[in-house]
Amino acid sequence: MTYNEEYKKLVEHILVNGTWQKGRNGNTLVVPNYSFTVKDMENDHILKLRKIFTKGIIGEFNTLIDPTPLTNISQFEAHGCNYWSLWAKPSGELNIDYHNKLHPQLEEVIEGIRSNPSSRRHVINLWDHDHVNNPEYMKELSLPNCWYGMTFIIIKGTLHMSWTQRSVDTAIGLPSDVFLAYLFMNHVAHKCDLAIGSCMFSLSNVHLYEEHIPGAKELLTRTESDFDKKLSFELKA
């Protein structure tokens, strides 16, 4: 099954089986858990049912892997990513603490794969319980990370990955997250001279915002020939 087919299957599953739930930023139709695998991430990582603005996602990735402390939206914007202002203070200040955890772990994983590719410990975990459960710290935190785990597996010179996410905005966020997952795989594969294989996405609280549902239903009618057609969804902060 292709990524497009997997995506349609997920959207239909939410529409048929979802439960209405009021969240901090609107009403959502939600299923508790869902998983799917993209078998060929090298060639099948971009959703082709609507126009995907890959420049911004690449800019987000390049900002996240930059070891420079991330404190302001200008750093995202310098890389061509213009949507993080939704979570910034009026001054542009950002506090995304998982950025500080990402870079050292990513470097350790790359070195670990180079030295011992068959290890089962090539794991990145970005969720910080102490911070998220601290009300005072949360006042300063711009956004806890929605995706928080990557596990890398190497078999016969091919890199595979599992991607773990606690919350999924299916209409807008998920296509970006799948592309972001590919960028991490490509980065690690390039550094370690590996081919790119499959990625399993393990998702929790998978939802469609109420106002996104008409557009989600339209996506179910589209084919790959619609890859360059825009479909407007409101990005929720």
pLDDT, tens digit (0-9, with 9 covering 90-100), for 155-201: 999 999 999 999 999 999 999 999 999 999 999 999 999 999 999 99
Query: How far is Cα 78 from Cα 55, in angstroms, rounded to an integer?
Result: 12
Is 105 among the domain residues? yes
Q: Do 198 and 33 touch, CB atoms closer than 8 A?
A: no
Once rounded to an integer, what is the mean pLDDT over residues 213-235?
Answer: 92
Q: Is the residue at 88 inside a domain?
A: no
Residue 190 is predicted with a pLDDT of 98
DSSP characters over the chain: --HHHHHHHHHHHHHHH-EEEEETTEEEEEEEEEEEEES-TTT--S--SS---HHHHHHHHHHHT--S---BHHHHHHTT---GGGGS-TT-B---HHHHHHHHHHHHHHHHHHH-TT-S--EEE---HHHHT-HHHHTT-S---SEEEEEEEEETTEEEEEEEES-EETTTHHHHHHHHHHHHHHHHHHHHT-EEEEEEEEEEEEEEEGGGHHHHHHHTT--GGGTT-----PPP-
Q: What is the domain-level CATH number for residue 206? A: 3.30.572.10
Overall number of domains in the chain: 1
Q: What is the pLDDT of residues 23-75, one digit of tens each?
A: 888 999 999 999 999 999 999 999 999 999 999 999 999 999 999 999 999 99
Domain that holds residue 212: 3-53+97-226
Q: Is residue 112 part of a domain?
A: yes
Res 133: pLDDT: 87
Average pLDDT over residues 223-231: 92
Identify the pLDDT of residue 8. 98
Q: What is the pLDDT of residue 36?
A: 98
CA atoms within 13 A on the CB side of 98: 16
| Position 150 in a domain | yes
Q: Determine, yes or no, domain membership for 49.
A: yes
pLDDT digits (tens, 9 = 90+) for 89-139: 999 999 988 898 999 999 999 999 999 999 999 999 999 888 888 888 888
13 within domain boundaries: yes
Distance CA 160, CA 185 (A): 8
Contact 172, 208 (CB under 8 A): no
Which amino acid does the sequence have at 24?
A: R
**Residue 116 lies inside a defined structural domain of this protein:** yes
Mean pLDDT of the chain: 95
Is residue 79 included in any domain, yes or no? Answer: no
What is the structure's pLDDT at 123?
98
Give the pTM.
Answer: 0.96
